[in-house]
Chains A and B, each alone.
Chain A
Amino acid sequence: MEGSGRSPLAKLILKDPELSFSLLGLVFSALVIGFVRNPFYLDVLIMIFLWAMLASSWNIAGGYAGMFSLGHGAFIGIGAYMSSMLFIHFKLSPWIGMLIGAIAAGIIASFLGTICGRLKGHYFALATIAFVELINIAGVQLKELTRGSEGLSIPFHAGLANFMFESKVTYAYIGLIFVALFYFLSLALERSKLGYYLVAMREDEDAAKSLSINTPRIKMISIGISGFLAAIGGTFYAQYILFIEPDTVLSFNFSVQVALVTIVGGMGTALGPVIGSFLLTPLSMLLRAYLGGGLAGLHIVIYGFLLIIVVFFIPAGIVNAIRTPLKKYLKGEEIG
């Protein structure tokens, strides 16, 4: 094996460095979870996976299709509330509730994408903000279902069918599996015909149309997938935190943070949201843990500066900033 450039592993690395890097990361993360015993670090890992999921879902619409949603909290919240309400009121397993919520969110997202799809740039963003605020008000007002701004506590009964576990390690593994699924789905999308269509539309919608790409249709599909995945992330959030309220999952701020993780990591790349979450989530959690409640908000101030810096200096995000030169280097190696 050693030294031979023809071993299947080496071939894979040369042919698809991104995929091999991600597989390596996946195996590494799985091993790390097995060794971590400190509950705080496990918590950090789980939150990294959660934000990677949420950001990956945003990336499908915001990154690939260029539909800058600032209202993804609506879809996340629909997922979180749907599975939790079905569990509390009808004792339905959150796994099934998750699917129902995801389908509901996917349909609502497609509908929103269809009616607001022709709005460009900031108009679309404004419409999505109005949408998340609307859903937020519904969450506060429909007290019989959601308990309003008091929030909804999910009673803890550990068990696989209930999607609740005694050990954080289990949550971490499930989170990792979800992240892997979301990531491979994004990668498959990126390399599919639909993925190329989306990127073409993002770069120049008129040109894409003139190449007979049905832009309203692919907008609808991409935001539908995005809403579907966001709702799954929402259920995972609800099952782990066991408490949801309109001011977190159904808020504009939550929606902005989802977008922010993706932008810092790299929009329109499968790896970007994951890398963004690996960088930002521990940062915010460590700041919150060590600075305590006395300096509440500091981590978001830092987020704000980071956002401005990234947007001005590396608008393509960290993944692209590293990947483009690396690709050139690897290609040079191959030829040489």
Chain B
Amino acid sequence: MNILIVEDHEELASEVIDYLSKNGYVCKWARNCEEALEEVSVNDFDALLLDLGLPDGSGFEILKSVRRKQSNMAVIIITARGELDDRINGLQLGADDYLTKPFALTELGARLYAIIRRMHGFTLNELDIHGFSLQLQDYKVSYGGIPVNLTKKEFDIFQYLVLNKNRVITRLQLTEHIWGDILEVNSDSNFIDVHVRNLRKKLDKHTSLEWFETVRNVGYRINV
């Protein structure tokens, strides 16, 4: 899951990045409006964590720009305590949720999961897919109560395909969402296939996988 953190306070940003990286997110950090605007216009993020008070402008500009693109990025705004107007303004401009400083990292994590699953049409943190149950926050998959042992990357791939159910996800997209924005050209190597193959093998032990499609040489799709 790709996430952009827009925060000018270095210590806070690195703390958040640390926490989210440990929880399976690929994080990018923008220190100011300028960097943030460039990032959102160029890259696809699943979520945006936006501090409204930035040195070179207001975070509202970034929010407006994101929503103008009609992107379905999840946006959480971070405001200072007591700034009610900012929160209302932000939500009206299309933010999905808000946090007031100081906030607990676990709360941030929980809210992110909630927004992302809602965004993809799920109401519970436990996703049900053809008998498999994914616990988003615990990296656990089980089938009818029997746990399925997946590696972190296999889980990430499975989760991403489930969240984007009924869509073809290209290998490039998968690579970008799992490994982040790799600078290396033609990184679309077959190691993503290795992970998918292993994942399918593990899932196949429990039930038939005709809903887990390989779309030619392009990518994968999970049908619901």
Q: Do A and B bind each other?
A: no
What is the interface of chain A, defined by CB distance below 8 A to chain B?
none
What is the interface of chain B, defined by CB distance below 8 A to chain A?
none
